[in-house]
Chain A
Amino acid sequence: GAVVSQHPSWVICKSGTSVKIECRSLDFQATTMFWYRQFPKQSLMLMATSNEGSKATYEQGVEKDKFLINHASLTLSTLTVTSAHPEDSSFYICSAITPNQPQHFGDGTRLSIL
């Protein structure tokens, strides 16, 4: 079964709406969670690295004020896309790791902004 749960799997909303995506590790404590974004026919691109209890580290070109990441516990990280616009439409996917274990990915969230 899934070891990383990502919710929701699909979101359609109006431009200007803020959208929150949750990523949960189900049976392990994730020391680090990653957020990736994938545009059609493109690679998954790392957006940010999230460690529990500390501020996320964002990749170059990713707006930290637009993509708010909260990693309040060892099993939950959230990504909030604030004031989403059509260009933010993409496939967002999280992953979680713990030392000496394989990295596990969620099933992703398809975000469509109208």
Chain B
Amino acid sequence: KQEVTQIPAALSVPEGENLVLNCSFTDSAIYNLQWFRQDPGKGLTSLLLIQSSQREQTSGRLNASLDKSSGRSTLYIAASQPGDSATYLCARGGSQGNLIFGKGTKLSVKP
């Protein structure tokens, strides 16, 4: 069974701190790896998409890496801000666009 695991389940940090969210997946034959942000009661906002042939992607203060051999991806958030508080979801993408999600990491950035 294909699974996606995210650690930690919750994280609280002071404003300005750099942080890393972890994601692991069981099948190395992935099509892509995606990171999303979900605010309470809301839909998902796509943050970064890493194709299987890529090692990392960057957008602003966010950097995501992909290591297929070890089945791991990390999301690095630099200089965290209270507005970054949300649940961050990692998802393994299939060739048809279907996604297998982890349970997410709930991030709280304290002012």
Residue contact B102 to A97, C-beta cutoff 8 Å: no
Partner of A102 from the list B41, B46, B101, B103 (CB cut-off 8 Å) is B46
Question: Which chain A residues lie closer than 8 Å to B98 at the CB level?
Answer: 34, 46, 49
Residue contact B96 to A32, C-beta cutoff 8 Å: yes
Q: When chains A and B are docked, how far (Å) is the Cα of A28 from the Cα of B102?
A: 28
Q: When chains A and B are docked, how far (Å) is the Cα of A58 from the Cα of B91?
A: 19
- CB within 8 Å for A107 and B103 given contacts A44-B89, A49-B96, A97-B97: no
Residue contact A43 to B103, C-beta cutoff 8 Å: yes
| Residue B42 at the chain A interface, CB threshold 8 Å | yes
A-B contact count (CB 8 A): 54
Q: Which of B32-87 contact A (CB under 8 A)?
A: 34, 36, 41-46, 49
Q: Which of A31-64 contact B (CB under 8 A)?
A: 32, 34, 36, 41-46, 49
Residue contact B99 to A34, C-beta cutoff 8 Å: yes
Question: Which chain A residues lie closer than 8 Å to B42 at the CB level?
Answer: 107-108
| Residue A93 at the chain B interface, CB threshold 8 Å | yes
Q: Which of B20-37 contact A (CB under 8 A)?
A: 34, 36
Write out, one digit per residue, whether chain A residues 55-98 have a CB within 8 A of any chain B CB (1) or not (0). 00000000000000000000000000000000000010101010
CB distance from A106 to the nearest CB of B (A): 5
Question: Which chain B residues lie closer than 8 Å to A103 at the CB level?
Answer: 34, 46, 97, 99
A36-B99, A43-B104, A103-B46 known; 10 other A-B pairs, CB under 8 Å?
A4-B43, A32-B96, A36-B101, A49-B96, A93-B43, A102-B46, A104-B46, A105-B44, A106-B43, A108-B43
The residues of A with any CB-CB pair to B shorter than 8 Å are: 4, 6, 32, 34, 36, 41-46, 49, 91, 93, 95, 97, 102-108, 110
